[in-house]
Structure 1
Amino acid sequence: MTVAALPRSRTVARVVPGMPAEDGAGVKLTRLVGQPRLPDLDPLLMLDRIHSDDPRAYIAGFPPHPHRGFETVTYLVQGRMRHRDNHGHEGLITDGGVQWMTAGRGIEHSEMPEQTDGLLFGFQLWLNLPAAEKMREPWYRDIPAADLARLSPADGVEVVVIAGAWDDARGPAPERPTQPFIVDVALAPGAVADIPVPDGHAAFVHPFQGSVTLGPAEAGERVHDGWLAVLDDGGGLRAAADAEAGARLLVVAGRPLREPIAKYGPFVMNTRDELIQAVDDYRAGRF
């Protein structure tokens, strides 16, 4: 099998282990971005992974809570999650679906799992908004699995495109100043993919099944399920599965905003004063 080389493959800058965490009404999860070892990767603020076949670990879900100043992108590999918010949006994502919510100037929402056959497996990404858009109107969209772009760019490589573009396949996510690139890449045993991570974007890779070697063939680094690899600067990335086993990985990248980041719980602004205003506005019912 011959795979055309990218002009240059990014390499792994560092590898970060996930941190056990709990959020919402006691939902147990793994925090990969937004933890002490990796507070953020501008403009990628947080990545949580939920993977449990024990309903007691997640069924209480995430009751109503506020957000301001950023976006949440929820990708559900398996399971069901219902969204409701105080701006009249309601939706249900199921296996392979995506919820994209732009909190903007303020929103209060709930995310509640609905059990079918037990397993809840998915990710939530927090994506920053630039200062000029932090107070924009909230926005919400459900994207069912059938609406996601799919392609097979090489033998043994199957790709789901959530945001950004890969060859002629473009994800259905909204256009944003951060130009997000979010793909789910499945590799058969021995398969190799040249992933078109946009040049200049901050990027990471999270293998969530198997292990994968990232980077040029002569200097690649093997990364295992459950870890997160922060990539160095550059453009595309080569990913290779072991000859004996396949792999599946989430690849996320965004154009850095290079603006101050001020975080307090569910609010992400640029200054401390803006955070204080966000808390005041929420308490006063102005979301």
Structure 2
Amino acid sequence: MSIRPTLETRLAQPTTEGAGVHLHRAFGFHHPSELDPFLLFDDFRNDDPAKFEQGFPWHPHRGIETITYVLSGTVDHGDSLGNSGTLGAGDVQWMTAGSGILHQEMPKGNAQGQMHGFQLWANLPSAHKMTAPRYQDVKSGDIPEITDDDGTTVRVIVGDFWGRRGPVDGIAADPQYLDISVPPGVKKTFRVDTYRRAFAYVFEGAGAFADASQPSGVLLEKEVMGEEVNIRDMSGNRTLIRFGTGDEVTVQAGEQGIRFLLISGAPIQEPVAWHGPIVMNTTEELQQAMRELRNGTFIKPAH
């Protein structure tokens, strides 16, 4: 077994999208090969409805898949194919935009006015860019949740893990998408396929991710439940950790425990031509998509 080295640790940056939704972006729009097949990751979390209630009005997508995971509040959605619905706390929607779709997403806070969720964009390989759009809406109760003997809990949203399989399937990047909670002071190792690109996104608590050069992941600065933890290496709220190659990720939870997403997928390794919500392989394909948006032929008839 080999521990995946930590290539980079960085904080998600505040930005505004849609009609004024305040969110934090962990990555996106700059280096599409960095986490191939993933293109963008947003953390939309707020307890002020004025900063998210205008939502994401009608907008197009082509050439990608969007994965929306709601933790609190709700998201009402509708699209040009006539689909509509509401995502609640713990629900997931995996939308394959394929050849093109127009949709809107309108978040609402819970009883306390709080909204929290994530959206991940996954690229589609050229052979699937123009596939027919489709949705997979998954209710929270249909997502397997496993609790280990040490109290570690894993929700398996996509892929196989610890003998369970997530309910979302047929995704081009063949990803694994896990929501992991590790109790205070627990040190835990998770297997990740060697040939996948992988990242973690911490959104509650804090912890230290072991590095290949320091397998213990520690320095003598503080003891947490008998484990030495390098406080300078602790990753906390809204932190992205980008891993190198290897087949396992090890984390040492801090005093408050840690909760993070662990996401991996098979790289596509194709050229990327990207403009806003449309991702193609060439500039010519991108220009074609823009022409179709202008002349009303962007949405393709169902076969």
Match of 2:175 in 1: 180
Distance 1:274 1:40 in 2: 22
Contact kept in structure 2, 1:23 and 1:62, CA below 8 Å: yes
Shift of 1:224: 1.8
Structure number with bigger Rg: 2
Does the alignment pair 1:126 with 2:121?
Answer: yes
- Gap regions ≥5 residues in structure 2: 219-232
Distance 1:37 1:247 in 2: 28
Does the alignment pair 1:212 with 2:197?
Answer: no
Match of 1:200 in 2: 195
Structure 1 residues 125 and 169: alpha-carbon distance in aligned structure 2, compared to 1, 3 A threshold: same
Match of 1:3 in 2: none
Match of 1:265 in 2: 276
In the alignment, which of 12, 16, 19 is matched to residue 6 of structure 2?
A: 12
Match of 2:227 in 1: none
Shift of 1:283: 1.8
Shift of 1:38: 7.8
Aligned length: 280
Shift of 1:11: 2.1
**Letter in structure 2 aligned against 1:218:** S
Shift of 1:183: 0.5
Does the alignment pair 1:51 with 2:45?
Answer: yes
Match of 1:168 in 2: 163
Cα deviation, 1:31-58, whole Å, max 9, x if unaligned, reads 1110558885110100000110000000
**Letter in structure 1 aligned against 2:248:** G
Alignment of 1:25-174 (within 5 A): 25-34=19-28, 36=30, 40-117=34-111, 118-174=113-169
Cα deviation, 1:194-232, whole Å, max 9, x if unaligned, reads 222222111111110011111254236432211101001
In the alignment, which of 263, 269, 276 is matched to residue 287 of structure 2?
A: 276
Match of 1:231 in 2: 243
Contact kept in structure 1, 2:29 and 2:39, CA below 8 Å: no
Cα deviation, 1:42-80, whole Å, max 9, x if unaligned, reads 101000001100000000000010000000000011110
Distance 1:113 1:55 in 2: 9
Contact kept in structure 2, 1:214 and 1:222, CA below 8 Å: yes
Match of 2:222 in 1: none
Aligned Cα RMSD in Å? 1.6
- Gap regions ≥5 residues in structure 1: 1-6
TM-score (norm 2): 0.89
Cα deviation, 1:152-207, whole Å, max 9, x if unaligned, reads 23412001011111121111112223111110001111123222222211111111
Contact kept in structure 1, 2:273 and 2:281, CA below 8 Å: yes
> Match of 2:89, SS?
coil
Structure 1 residues 237 and 260: alpha-carbon distance in aligned structure 2, compared to 1, 3 A threshold: same
Distance 1:175 1:37 in 2: 26
**Letter in structure 2 aligned against 1:175:** G
In the alignment, which of 240, 247, 253 is matched to residue 241 of structure 1?
A: 253
- Matched-pair identity in %: 38
